Amino acid sequence: MLLELDSIQKHFGGVTALEYGTMRVDAGEVHALVGENGAGKSTLMKIVSGMIEHDRGVMRWRNKEVKFHRPADAHAIGVAMVHQESLLVPHLTVAENIFLGREPMQGPFVDQRRIVLEASALIEEHHFPLDPESRVDKLSPAKKQLIEICRALHSASSLIIFDEPTSSLSESETNEVFNIVKALSARGIGIIYITHRLDELQGLADRITILRDGRTVHTDVLANVDTEQIVHHMVGREISHIYTRQSLNPGRELLKVDLPNVHFSVRAGEIVGVAGLMGAGRTELCQTIFGITPVEKGSIEIAGEIVQIKSPRDAVNAGIALITEDRQKTGLALELPLKVNVTLANTDAVCKLGFLQNDMENEVAEYSRKRLQIRTATIEQTAGRLSGGNQQKIVIAKWLFRNAQLLLFDEPTRGIDVGAKAEVFSLMDELAKEGKGIVMVSSELPELLQVADRILVMRDGKIAAELPRKTTQQEVMHHAVVER
């Protein structure tokens, strides 16, 4: 046995993050670790990778008790982690990041040539779309994820932890990650694979451990449990795992986009899906509509009138909201309380003569918390301490309070758990029923097919196809990949 975790406990202040963390990982095994956000997966994995120390319980490495005090301890023993959130140095290049902390030296100097050469070889071996010499700060979240994977691969460890490696990746990149995982396990490396995408475990994982509320509730050979059972263990309650949405008769036209190669409109009550591979221009489309990269040629009409959107402020004033794919960076003021974040885009509405009205603000925040079922004890809770799903709900609440009519969701379910996903979808459905227009960009094709009324497929910055609701994943992928 490679790693054994026996009744691991961890408390932060008075909060119990982990009460009973138990799992065993063998060499050459792909062990799936699932659970809702806040279930304790990240805490458990931070303990295994030496980022935090556990309070109680026993961790054994090759049958010998160990305790890691710092990441270097875990690293020395052969544990590497592919982090979900990018832990890269933005001003260094891809290659420099891959070798960060273990630079090959030539006398007193860093052997820059070798870094680039070895990084290139690694990137080529796995067909990643990365340039070893480009700087990291301009890269998309997906590419950063690939760099994280390269880092772990390079350290050639005995145990690699993947923390939702595919949450920001396109289909082809996802397949590449699967191939990597399989190849690594074939080499006898143990893999812990954390994911929210239960469907991708089939044919990938050997065993599965399920955490709920800080406790290991189930461990089994994957073939012995089906998706329903996994979800049941995760949430401890029944939820319909397939979301079904009734289409509505769309109302008046809310948005009309006329850009070179991109022509489409969104009507009130409609959810328009946008599919495509990474780099196909989906995020860029959202950013153009929202005024981050203003229109150069072409026009955007809101409710039948051409509007000049030169900044996010113009967009917000025109009734547009953008729920970005990176809510920590662009969606939330993490140090500030929930209530401040909820009213941030419409502070005027809780002000009189420039003075904040606390009672009005509290009322708004309480209402949002209830309506969106944001799980927190108080509206004073700082946003940074909430789980991904709850953070996403705060971002949505912010735009609802702003009364945005057109909502652009860029990867709305990224990094949030099954339960919260269903809640986000039913919220989008509700908004559509209220007559709002919704654009949903997603790499999760099954989700798009369930939620969207019709699907635009983007490829190379163009809209390659517009497909009806009852299309198939194959059809969408076909248009996303192939030139016709």
SS (H, E, C) 227-255: HHHHHHHHHCCCCCCCCCCCCCCCCCEEE
- In this complex, which beta carbon is closest to another protein, that of residue 227 or of residue 317? 317
Q: With H, G, I as helix, E, B as strand and everything else as coil, classify residue 99.
A: coil
Contact between 196 and 34 under an 8 Å Cβ cutoff? The reply is: yes
User: Which among 283, 399, 282, 379 has a CA at the least distance from the CA of 337?
Assistant: 379
Work out how close the CB of 56 gets to another protein at its nearest, in angstroms, rounded to a whole number.
17
Question: 132 or 331, CB closer to another protein?
Answer: 331
Closest CB 343 distance from another protein, rounded Å: 8
Structure tokens at 272: 């328009």
C-alpha distances in angstroms, 112 versus 95, 104, 128, 134? 9, 8, 21, 14
Whether 306 and 483 have beta carbons less than 8 Å apart is answered as no
Beta strands 462-468 and 454-459, pairing class: antiparallel
Residue with Cβ nearer another protein (59 or 316): 316
Nearer to another protein, 122 or 315 (CB): 315
Min CB(127)–another protein separation in Å: 32
Are the CB atoms for 350 and 342 separated by under 8 Å? no
> 3-state class of 320 per DSSP?
strand
Q: Which residues contact 318 (CB under 8 A, 6 or more apart)?
A: 302, 307, 309
Q: Which is nearer to another protein, 357 or 373 (CB)?
A: 357
CB of 48 to another protein, least distance (A): 16
* Shortest Å, Cβ 319 to another protein: 11
Listed in sequence order, the DSSP H helices in 157-208 are: 171-186
For another protein, the closer CB: 20 or 401? 401
H/E segment holding residue 446: helix 445-451
Measured from the CB atom, is 351 or 422 closer to another protein? Answer: 351
Nearest approach in angstroms of CB 317 to another protein is 7
Q: Considering beta carbons, is residue 235 or 383 the nearer one to another protein?
A: 383
Burial 137-170 (b: 16+ CB within 10 A, else e): eebebbbbbbbbbbbbbeeebbbbbbbbbbbbbb
Cβ of residue 402: shortest distance to another protein, in angstroms? Answer: 8
In angstroms, give the least distance from the CB of 241 to another protein. Answer: 31
Q: Name all contacts of 478-483 with Cβ < 8 Å and 24+ positions apart.
A: 480/171, 480/275, 480/276, 480/277, 480/280, 481/172, 481/277, 483/459
Residues that bind another protein (CB under 8 A): 12-15, 52, 290, 311-313, 315-317, 322, 324, 329-336, 340, 344-345, 347-348, 351, 354-356, 384-385, 398, 402
Which CB, 261 or 317, lies closer to another protein? 317
Whose tokens are 């809209």? That residue is: 463
To another protein, the closest distance from the beta carbon of 379 in angstroms equals: 15
